[in-house]
Each structure stands twice: as C-alpha cells, then as structure tokens.
Amino acid sequence: MRALVGDRAVVLGGGMAGLVAARVLADAYARVLIVDRDRLIGASGPRRGVPHGRHAHALLARGQQILDELFPGLKSDLDAAGVPAGDLADDLRWYFNGRRLRQAPTGLLSVSATRPVLEDHVRARVAALPNVTVADRCDILALTTTPGRDRVTGVRVRRNDEDGAEEVIEADLVVDATGRGSRTPAWLEELGYRRPEEDRVKVGLAYTTRHFRLRSDPYDGDLSINPVASPANPRGAFFPKLPGGVSQLSLTGMLGDHAPAELEGFLAFARSLPIPEIYEAIRDAEPLDEGVTFRFPASVRHRYERLTRFPEGLLVLGDGVCSFNPVYGQGMTVAAMEAMTLREHLASGRPPLARRYFRDISRIIDVAWDIAVGGDLNFPGVEGPRTLKVRLGNAYMSRLHAAAANDGGVTAAFMRVAGLVDPPGALMRPGMVWRVLRNAGRTPAGPEVPEVPEVRKYGAVPAGSGD
C-alpha cells in the first residue's frame, strides 16, 4: 500500500471538479472533506451552485475515459438508470455550417446524461469512499495560514444551521474547486500575494432550455441532434433524448442574440435554426416545463502558472482556473484531466508543489483554450487578437467541416480532437490534410437558413448588443 501524503485534504466545492479531486485525494490522504454551500447529501436535480445544470451538458470523450478509470462500473450504473449511450460520432447527429457531418465510428463513448444525473452518480461513489466525508450547507469564509502566510493551513467556514457557528477546519491541503466564483484571487491579494493575470474573451452566450414530450421521433436511432452555431448563423442547439421519453432542447445564441424563455418566442427561435428537424419535432410537442435561461458573458482564464509566489498547501482546479465557453463542452473534462495531473503529483509520495502543479495543468488548458477561443474568434463580433495561427486554423477548420460532410473518417478524426483524446496536430497530418482537400470541394450545399426577424418581437436581443 502506498504511503499517505498527509492526514487531511479539504476540497472546496462539491460539483464535478470537486468530486474528481476528492476521488484522487482519497488515495493519498487519510481523510478527505468536501465543503459546499448547497445541500449535497440526499440532494437530486439542479443545484443553486450549478445554475447551468439545467441545460444540455457534454462530457467529452477524454472525460468519460477518466471517469471510467476513477469509478469502475459507473457506466453500468448509468445503463441501469436508463441513460442512453453511444458512439460520439456515429450515434450523434452533428451539423456544422448547416451541413450534416457524415457519421462514422470512433470508439469513443458519449453518455446522454443530464448534469444533475451524472453528478448524482459520481457523488454517490465518492461519498461511499470510507475516508471521504461531506460538510454541506456551509459558507466558506476565508483561508487560514501560518504566521508568515507562506502556507495555507485550513479554511474557516460557517454552517447554515440553527446555530450558524463558525469553525476552522485544519488541512494539509486545500483544493479550491468552487468554479467561476472562486475567491482565490481575492484571498491571495488579502494575504499579500499578486492576483493572477486574467485572459477574458467576451462571447455574450446564453442557453435557453425546455423539455418536451415529442409526438414523433426525429432521431432515427441517434442520441442527439446538434446544429452548431457558425458565423453565418450564430444560433445553435443541443437536442438530446433523455430517459423516460423526454427530449431536452437547449438553444444557444451568441453575442447577445438569445432565445426567449416563453414558448412562442422559443419556438420561433428554433424555427430559425439552419436545419428544420428540431422545429418540426417540437412545434406540436407537449411542453413539460417553463423555459430557463443561463447567460455566459465571457470565457475567463486565470494565469496562475505565471505567478512567481504562491502559498503552499493550496491548489485551484476546474473553472476557477479556466472557465470555457460551454458550447465546447470542455469544463468537466478539463477538470478531470487536471485531477489526473494532481494524481500524478501525489504519486511521488510528497505534497504537491503549487507552482509545479499550475505549470503542468496549464499545458492541458492551452489545448482546450486554443480550440474554444480560436473557434469563438471565427465570429466577427467576438473581440480578441486574430493572430495568423488563429486565421489559418479557422480557415482550415472550415474546409475540414466541409470535408466531414462527405468523409466519415474526417468526422471521426475531428471528434477525437474535439473530445480532447487526440492532439490538434492529428488533424494536420499529411494523410488527413489530403482527405480534407480532396473532400471539401465536394460538399453539397446546406439547407437555406430561414429569415429570423419574427423572433425579435418576442424579446430576443439584437446580435452584438451584449447582455
């Protein structure tokens, strides 16, 4: 049995990032405590701390591989719960620029689970570990440190119960997995350290989601229908089928052009998508709930790896380091990859060194950030430096998507890169470049994009006006 690194690790945040962090810490610390402000034990469904949990979510292929490694049997549990699963490129219907990509097997699994369902299953497995406990309904107030402030020694919390008592929880390691609202930059400043530099790319994105019971089946055996937004039409959708004969439709709009939550405007927005089958499926379907909207103003990256001083005993993981445009589905997977990096550091038998950890996870973030931000900069209204690398990359990706409409091998290669399984360089290998150039010009024209002025009268904000 491997020697323990320390006595207790505390994870701030009980979402997916915190859960995978707790799982790897449980192998290296005698005790692991998860602290969260929401009720976690016995909770189900969307949580206040995860406002985007009501909308379509994606766990990329690499993330699925990591969960399978950390939680053997998880896939069987999801199967038993009736959660559909299939091949990422063969069982999902993808559209880019209004053109349907040719489907082909990749060997990569896609599980059509909502965020709350996936989180419930993972949380149950983490909570079942003998050395993991959960302190839910706790406000996280501050870090505690040594007198010299060079090491974090724990966290001060207040319990949301009748007493409202404050207490200090001592820890050998504190991992901040609280997400976009992470207070670590402010805590660093209070302790006399520099805040990390911040990269920000404004996208003005929103998801608006409703659930339906359909009267007809548009899927034809596929798990989901996903027209991806493009500069020609910055409106997109994710339309997965869920257990129990329910379909979830999340409509996406860029740069302030957001789908209304009320039904009439929601339907009109769906009608403006570059493909007809989603609107045709929901126009006479049974609505099961009210629409709900989640706004995402900007992708934000905190450059912890550039800091020259950082207190030991503290790490940040997940959206608190980098929060990506959610249409790329990278958040949970990057957090899982960061957790595996933490696992590698812990394997040395010594406490992880913060600066070395941030340096190593920055390489993971670099790849995902370049994919997401490069794609966003393809939209003329998104502000940011369009380097030669970005311009050439977007020009090539446009040809690649066109080629994928004819060549399933191109689709599969693209999905392996988008799923963070293969490096982006895999799409630039000579054989792949030849397939792209050979097939791009043969792509049939996509369907005509409907006119959309009718949507504006239902409250959608004109493109470019922001939130």
CB burial string 426-457: b at 16+ within 10 A, e below: ebeeeebeebbeebbeebeebeebeebeebee
Q: What is d(CA 250, CA 252) in angstroms, rounded to the nearest whole number?
A: 6
The per-residue pLDDT string of the chain (467 residues; one tens digit each, 9 = 90 and over) reads: 468 999 999 999 999 999 999 999 999 999 999 999 887 766 665 555 555 556 677 788 999 999 999 999 998 998 888 888 889 899 999 999 989 999 999 989 888 788 888 999 999 999 999 999 999 889 999 999 999 999 999 999 998 877 778 999 999 999 999 999 999 999 999 999 999 999 999 999 999 999 999 999 999 999 999 999 999 888 999 999 988 889 999 999 999 899 999 999 999 999 999 999 999 999 999 999 999 999 999 999 999 999 999 999 999 999 999 999 999 989 999 999 999 999 999 999 999 999 999 999 999 999 999 999 999 999 999 999 999 999 999 999 999 999 999 999 999 999 999 999 999 999 999 999 999 999 998 745 444 333 333 333 333 333 233 33
**Whole-prediction pTM value?**
0.90
The structure tokens listed for 157 are: 């919390």
Question: Which one-letter amino acid corresponds to residue 83?
Answer: V
SS3 content of the chain, % helix, strand, coil (to 5): 35, 25, 40
Task: Domain ranges for the chain, please list them.
Answer: 6-83+114-199+298-373
The structure tokens listed for 255 are: 């740069």
Query: Which residues 6+ apart lie within 8 Å of 375 measured at CB?
Result: 325, 328, 394, 397
Q: What is d(CA 364, CA 324) in angstroms, rounded to the nearest whole number?
A: 13
Q: What is d(CA 413, CA 415) in angstroms, rounded to the nearest whole number?
A: 6
Residue with tokens 């999905």: 415
Q: Specify the CATH number of the domain 6-83+114-199+298-373.
A: 3.50.50.60
HSE of 228 in the Cβ direction (CA atoms, 13 Å)? 19
**Which stretches does DSSP call E strand in 172-243?**
173-176, 197-213, 224-228, 235-242
